[in-house]
């Protein structure tokens, strides 16, 4: 079986290795490739061309990451209800000529936050990023108890659109564009800032009064500049590792029809990150 990852700046992604290791543990002959549209090999390719190429090559499906989680929706025949609600797709399953979009980011993040942050307050949260990942984790935060969600994005139009979408889905919550005022229980980064290919921070913690915690969905590196800053300030931190493993497990099920050993996937992920650092 073959699958692939489509995105930009994905050379450091551990998704291919996680999928192949999970497949090997179940006796599945599994090859997982990459279409990195930021590299010379695919520099002139469009998203449409990459999806077509993967389907023609016989892939069971593709994972889709930054910056294509919303653009890919126009190339699909159908979407799961959850992906349609979120307005973003990170997984496409091929069934013959049919393309069906799913979103495993929501489930992966929700499980990770519920486990790692437990009873920490999350009534008021600042969400950094209004893209495809922001849609998924924003909805998950609301479903985990957030009642006021501030949204900050380089595009105020995108931030406002996400606020409107989330309030339409969950009318009980207050969502608004961040105005750099007031205190929040936590901050969650759902932008690519902090990735090895996008160094830096989406916001300075000096500009926000944070009561308790800071989380990041970036997992390479696990300790992003934002999380290092938060640690120095004595705040609880949540890395992107849990979400990475959780969404990979959900996608693996969609591609193979088999339930992976999630504990083993988490251990494999830990080993892989240590090997990269070494």
Identify the H or E element spanning 105. Answer: helix 105-116
- Asked if 215 and 186 count as a contact pair (C-beta separation under 8 A), the reply is yes
Peptide bond into 209 cis (omega under 30): no
Report helix angle 15-25 to 241-256, nearest 10. 50
Beta strands in the chain (DSSP E): 2-7, 31-36, 61-64, 78-79, 91-95, 98-102, 124-128, 148-152, 174-177, 183-189, 209-216, 236-238
Catalytic residue among 8, 69, 118, 253: 69
Structure tokens at 158: 């995108």
Question: Is 69 annotated in the active site?
Answer: yes
Going by C-alpha positions, the residue among 239, 230, 271, 264 that lies closest to residue 249 is 264
CA distance 36 to 237: 30
Return left, alpha or beta for 169; rule: phi > 0 is left, psi -120 to 50 is alpha, else beta.
alpha
Catalytic residue numbers read: 69
């Amino acid at each position: 079986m073959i699958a692939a990852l489509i995105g930009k700046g994905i050379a450091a992604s551990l998704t291919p290795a996680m999928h192949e290791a999970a497949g090997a543990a179940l006796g599945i002959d599994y090859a997982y490739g990459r279409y990195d549209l930021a590299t010379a090999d695919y520099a002139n390719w469009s998203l449409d061309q990459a999806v077509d190429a993967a389907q023609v090559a016989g892939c069971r499906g593709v994972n889709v990451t930054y910056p294509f989680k919303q653009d890919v929706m126009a190339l699909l025949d159908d979407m799961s209800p959850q992906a349609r609600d979120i307005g973003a797709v990170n997984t496409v399953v091929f069934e013959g000529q049919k393309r069906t979009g799913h979103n495993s980011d929501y489930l992966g993040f929700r499980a990770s936050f519920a486990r790692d942050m437990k009873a920490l307050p999350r009534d008021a949260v600042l969400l950094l990023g209004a893209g495809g990942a922001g849609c998924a984790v924003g909805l998950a935060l609301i479903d985990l108890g957030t009642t006021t969600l501030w949204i900050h994005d380089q595009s105020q139009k995108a931030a406002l659109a996400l606020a409107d979408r989330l309030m339409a889905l969950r009318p009980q919550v207050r969502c608004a564009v961040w105005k750099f005022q007031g205190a929040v229980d936590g901050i969650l980064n759902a932008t690519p800032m902090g990735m090895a290919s996008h160094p830096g921070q989406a916001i300075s913690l000096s500009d926000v009064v944070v009561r308790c915690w800071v989380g990041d969905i970036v997992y390479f590196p696990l300790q992003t500049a934002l999380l290092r800053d938060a640690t120095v300030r004595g705040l609880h931190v949540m890395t992107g590792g849990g979400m990475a493993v959780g969404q990979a497990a959900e996608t693996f099920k969609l591609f193979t029809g088999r339930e992976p050993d999630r504990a083993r996937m988490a251990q494999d992920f830990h080993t892989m990150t240590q090997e990269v650092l070494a």
